Amino acid sequence: MFWLLFCIFFAACLGAGVTGGLFPPGQWYRDLNKPTWTPPDWVFPVTWMVLYVCMAVAGARAAMAEDNAIAMAFWAMQIAFNGLWTPVFFGLKNIRLGMAIIGVLWVTVLSALLALWQVDTLAGMLFVPYLVWVTIAAALNAEVWRLNRGEAAKGSVAAE
């Protein structure tokens, strides 16, 4: 049963991850000013694949636990906001709205971590690296916003 649940949760993660392929960073992002601590491009897919495995394991473990309704609700909420950020930031090129979404994502990841921890300690622990990564991503989004005030003020830019 665990492996079936793992596959279902992993498919949900990959569904969110597909947005990275549908809305790649492109020239617009390359032309933005970014902080010196911006991770190299190759780090993002590697990190997300590891995180998606951790998230799927956490989801599968919690799904088998009793009294898991709140944990499952937060798991579903965080994956929805996870999948929303990329189309907004890279697709719409909307830095400000991306910041708002990643802020909500951070809260939902923290909430999921705490709720998962209540039903399965290991499931909660598996969300810790995810929260760290979303914290880094939020800081990066905020710094890109700060460094590109003119671009961010445009809100949504028409496709080039």
Lookup result for tokens 């905020």: 142
Answer yes or no: are the C-beta atoms of 115 and 58 closer than 8 Å: no
pLDDT at 153: 62
Confidence of residue 160 (pLDDT cuts 50, 70, 90): very low
Answer yes or no: are the C-beta atoms of 93 and 156 closer than 8 Å: yes
**Helices and strands per DSSP (H, E), number in the chain:** 8, 0
pTM summary value: 0.91
Q: Looking at residue 90, what DSSP letter applies?
A: I
pLDDT in tens, 27-65: 999 999 999 999 998 999 999 999 999 999 999 999 999
Confidence of residue 158 (pLDDT cuts 50, 70, 90): very low
Answer yes or no: are the C-beta atoms of 2 and 60 closer than 8 Å: yes
Lookup result for tokens 């709720």: 115
pLDDT at 95: 96
Alpha-carbon torsion angle 35, 52, 131, 21, nearest 10: 30
